Amino acid sequence: MQSDSDRGRVVGVPEASVSLSTSSVYPEPTAAGFELATRLGYDGVEVMVGIDATSQDLDAVRDLREFHGIPVVSVHAPCLLITQRVWGLEPWGKLVKSAEMAHELDADVVVVHPPFRWQREYGRAFVEGIADLEEETGMTFAVENMYPWRTARREFQAYVPGWNPVEFGYEHVTLDVSHTATAGADPVEMAEQLGDRLAHVHMTDGLGSAKDEHLVPGRGTQPCAELLELLAERNFGGHVVVEINTRRCNDREERETDLAEALAFTRLNLVAPARGGEAR
């Protein structure tokens, strides 16, 4: 039963949007991401530029945005191992093209991973190069936290200058909760350390295994609710993007259920007690 004090309590809801990454519907195509985001009530879409040809085609993505009447809030540059040949082999060129797509779609963030260790020339100037790109393009490049690669016998540092963006001078950062699970890091602590540099969040979950799991938030061991409450307390104005793995779903109905649960969890917990406020 609700107490008298609870009845008078109000909550603060931040300005942050809750959007859906098109990677969350894989192996369904980019178009399905727009369809499901709209039907389930997400605020927007993050386009993962990947092996699906539609995701690489500005006109096709613009048509999906207009058809479904849902904004594109961010573009995820093609930084994965499986997208090494998407938009050519030159990594800086991929980032420039991602910024161009974001501008044309009225998005305000490009999500980018740090270079792989074997991308020596790219990695050598990465921190300074990202700062230069932000100045040249006027676009926010939010560098994502990653994780060490682990086997049963050893740990391998796969990213340069490193997997933890807290340690480097990026102006803007994306915090991915599945990646903190794999790294054995605390996402709430990371968010506190980043302060105003935290520009973008990938809301998901993990159990802390060596595999990057991208579970529905609430199904892993990460303090997802606590992180969302912290964002609300700060009145976070960036984008919270649901990025989960649904490839093991048996059918569209099961995938839709997972996406709906992720949205409900995120919205339910993205609130904070209003300081000194009472309902009127």
Distances (CA, A) of 74 to 3, 103, 206, 207: 42, 10, 23, 27
Q: Among 37-46, 48-57, 153-162, which is the least confidently predicted range?
A: 153-162
Query: Higher model confidence: residue 15 or residue 25?
Result: 25
Question: Has residue 269 got a pLDDT over 80?
Answer: yes
Whole-number pLDDT of residue 5: 45
Find how far residue 93's CA is from the centre of its chain. 22
Q: What is the model's pTM?
A: 0.93
Mean pLDDT score, 22-38: 98
Q: Among 204-208, 247-251, 273-277, which is the least confidently predicted range?
A: 273-277
Does the domain at residues 13-272 carry the CATH identifier 3.60.15.10?
Answer: no
Which tens digit of pLDDT belongs to each residue from 87-106? 999 999 999 999 999 999 99
Whole-number pLDDT of residue 279: 36
Which tens digit of pLDDT belongs to each residue from 101-153? 999 999 999 999 999 999 999 999 999 999 999 999 999 999 999 999 987 78
Report residue 121: phi and psi, to 5°.
-65, -45
Which tens digit of pLDDT belongs to each residue from 55-97? 999 999 999 999 999 999 999 999 999 998 999 999 999 999 9
- Give me the torsion for CA of 165, 170, 175, 181, rounded to 10°: -10
Mean pLDDT of the chain: 93
Mean pLDDT score, 268-276: 82
Whole-number pLDDT of residue 275: 62
Helix pair angle (30-40, 252-269), 10° resolution: 50
Which tens digit of pLDDT belongs to each residue from 220-254? 999 999 999 999 999 999 999 999 999 999 999 99
Question: Has residue 261 got a pLDDT over 70?
Answer: yes
Whole-number pLDDT of residue 280: 32
Which of the four pLDDT bands, split at 50, 70 and 90, describes residue 1?
Answer: very low
Mean pLDDT score, 172-200: 98
Question: Has residue 276 got a pLDDT over 50?
Answer: yes
Residue 149 CB coordination number (10 Å): 16
Mean pLDDT score, 36-54: 98
CA proximity to 94, closest of 70, 126, 62: 126
Mean pLDDT score, 34-44: 98
Question: Has residue 259 got a pLDDT over 60?
Answer: yes
Whole-number pLDDT of residue 2: 42
Domain boundaries, the chain: 13-272
Distance, CA of 99 to CA of 44 (rounded, Å): 18
